[in-house]
Amino acid sequence: MKVAVINYSGSVGKTLISTYLLSPRMKDVKFFSVETINQSAADLGIKDVVSFKGDDFSKLIEDVVFEDSAIIDIGASNVEPFLMSMSRFDGGANEFDLYFIPVTKEDKAVKESMKTAHTLHKAGVEKDKIVFVPNRITPGEDVKKVLEPIFSFVKKTNVGKIDKNSVIYDSEVFEYLAHHQISFESLTEEDAEEFKMRAKQSNDTDERRKMARRYTYMKQAIPVKNNLDRTYALLIGE
């Protein structure tokens, strides 16, 4: 499985989805970043990220061709040159199995997400390979309501897919992981109760606060990870 994560809009969670949703669950996955300006997966703690510029499509494919499992995280500033370079390849759009478009509920993000889907289809990507992934959804929100333009776009044009159950809920855990450059596994592999005990027993004020903060994020991380597990299963079918 080779998944490209793409959107004309910035700050919609492309690297978050690549790093925290896809990378831990795709077997023997190779991570490619098409980014020149913004944060990349390497900044979030992913090791061995191979980086390219948007117009390096041929060089990217040279590497991707060897992989059975790959994530291609395409930064917003590189989408245009990436698609232009891809168009010069015979069947270039078929090099990837799925195109994930993270979408948040801001008007600009919604419009740019629909533009991305339209452009991908125009570039030769099959309709059912384009998948909108609702991101930063507040638990309890009606996804179909807050992203109504996306659902209407899919229904009207038949371009892309979107599932109201395949969502990523907003959580401050992601910011904590990014700041410390650690994974969910690293955060949750130790006993949370031990950090709680250390917070109580330490005589150092800063250490007490650090241990207490770690404990709270460890306890929050479990339901977030469960959300990602469910969403991945719905999106990828594994």
Per-residue pLDDT 10s for the chain (238 aa) are 999 999 999 999 999 999 999 999 999 999 999 987 656 666 676 778 888 988 899 999 999 999 999 999 999 999 999 999 999 999 999 999 999 999 999 999 999 999 999 999 999 999 999 999 999 999 999 999 999 999 999 999 999 999 999 999 999 999 999 988 888 888 988 899 999 999 999 999 999 999 999 999 999 999 999 999 999 999 997 6
Q: Give the pLDDT score at 38.
A: 59
Q: What is the pLDDT of residue 151?
A: 98
pLDDT of amino acid 163: 97
How many beta carbons lie within 10 A of that of residue 136, not counting itself? 20
The pLDDT assigned to 47 comes to 78
Structure tokens at 54: 């948007």
pLDDT score at 238: 63
pLDDT value, residue 54: 87
Confidence (pLDDT) at 29:
95
> What pLDDT, on the 0 to 100 scale, is given for residue 46?
76
